[in-house]
Structure 1
């Protein structure tokens, strides 16, 4: 059987009460899902063509943009940030943006986000981890993990009424309790990176990159060297 193609993807770890009682927003994938069935995960998914044409109200953090460009070919950091914001909206109903009226017709896939009266703003995103799904899986992703402070959300953090049904049991999980859930291995690793960024969620100087390809698995650092 041919190996599944690797698709670019983005994931968002939203952290609430980072300085006092940190909790992360998670949901559970369906038991019949092809990829990671029944696992608790952060909101995220594959980059769509529409993500490359989305206007932003504020730029992405400069250090994060530089790390996103490392070993990523021509893929623009803004496209990955847009994907992260769109997936957060679709899977949780939460808006990471600023009140703004869109000029012209929003790109396909962004109509409902635009209807909220907001335009995406990636300034709160911090790029903290990258991982490629190992070979042999039914779907493979080159996933960039972002962390964001829940205080930057424009919506009620407890209101998931506008979420799609892709994730169930959406809730804020205390960081200290998250590892007790049924998690993918890489999610457990990323949680440790998030804990290291508390309480200020500052962008790291170098970003861990767990690269899996057909020949070998390497733990690299974007902006640095192999570990």
Structure 2
């Protein structure tokens, strides 16, 4: 193996699977999404406003779903990926719970019987399990080379009506995201956001207006030449 090939392998191995959650409310009137600001000392996207989300943890593969994802969602998540779609949905559910205190999922009689792993104990104690039926796969993007951290991020859309607690009560949120608030889509451009977040918001607006093309957009930056296609 040549030196160039070794660099490619190292670069690919540094890409972590991740799940990001776009919570949407008031879609029929004045749509708003939940966003927060990363810390100024964060290694990845410092000071930027982002959606809740983070890397898929090993324990996310052990969490059963209360209901599987819809067939179209599962099929899109499985395209060009060997990751279990259920682990991505579980990670999205956990990250939303940790970073905002908002609960999405379905009551499940298995939850009280589970020995929940670390990272899931608070969520499982509510008696819920992640619900694949409430999640819609909206976007996928891989962080370009040269960044301090790289993620293969799947963006999930959840309607705030699916939340099991008060969407305005963010008091249980951890401190990873500051300035958590609901922001209207017609004012969101005033926030300091990563480029990909702006692109995802444009895709969301297209869905709300009925202008979206078929398939899930995918910014594929696994290789030297970036590729955009739809799953």
TM-score, normalised via structure 1 length:
0.92
Shifted more, 81-90 versus 119-128: the winner is 119-128
Once the two structures are TM-superposed, the CA of residue 106 in structure 1 deviates from its matched residue by 1.4
Tell whether the 8 Å contact from 1:63 to 1:205 is kept in structure 2 after alignment.
Answer: no
Q: Does 1:77 align with 2:69?
A: no
- Cα shift readout 1:183-206 (whole Å, capped 9, x = no counterpart): 000000000111122279xx9741
1:96 aligned partner: 104
Shift of 1:176: 0.9
Using the size of structure 2 for normalisation, the TM-score is 0.90
Equivalent in the alignment of 2:3: none
Q: After TM superposition, give the deviation of residue 127 of structure 1 in Å.
A: 0.3
For the structure 1 residues 199 and 160, does the alpha-carbon distance in structure 2 shift closer, same or farther, using more than 3 Å as the test?
A: farther
Q: Deviations over 1:99-153 (max 9, x none)?
A: 2341220132110101223222121110011000000000000000011100000
Give the whole-Å Cα distance in 2 for the aligned partners of 1:199 and 1:10.
Answer: 25
Aligned to 1:198, the other structure's residue is in SS state helix
Q: Which of 2, 13, 38 is the matching residue for 1:29? A: 38
Cα shift at 1:163: 0.9
Which sections of structure 2, spanning at least 5 residues, go unmatched? 1-6
Equivalent in the alignment of 1:225: none
Using the alignment, how far apart are the partners of 1:27 and 1:137 within structure 2? Answer: 21
1:198 maps onto 2:208 in alignment: yes
Aligned partners of 1:14 and 1:147 also within 8 Å:
yes
Output aligned runs, 1:60-71, within 5 Å.
60-71=69-80
What is the RMSD of the two structures over their aligned residues, measured on CA atoms? 1.7
In the alignment, the residues of structure 2 paired with residue 215 and residue 136 of structure 1 have an alpha-carbon distance, to the nearest angstrom, of 11
Structure 2 SS opposite 1:136: coil
Q: What pairs with 1:1-227 in structure 2 (closer than 5 Å)?
A: 3=11, 5-72=14-81, 74-101=82-109, 102=111, 103-198=113-208, 205-222=214-231
Give the whole-Å Cα distance in 1 for the aligned partners of 2:102 and 2:134: 14
SS at match of 2:187: helix
- Indicate conservation of the 8 Å contact 2:89/2:130, yes or no: no
In structure 1, the gaps of 5 or more residues are 223-227
- Preserved CA contact (<8 Å) 2:22 2:51: yes
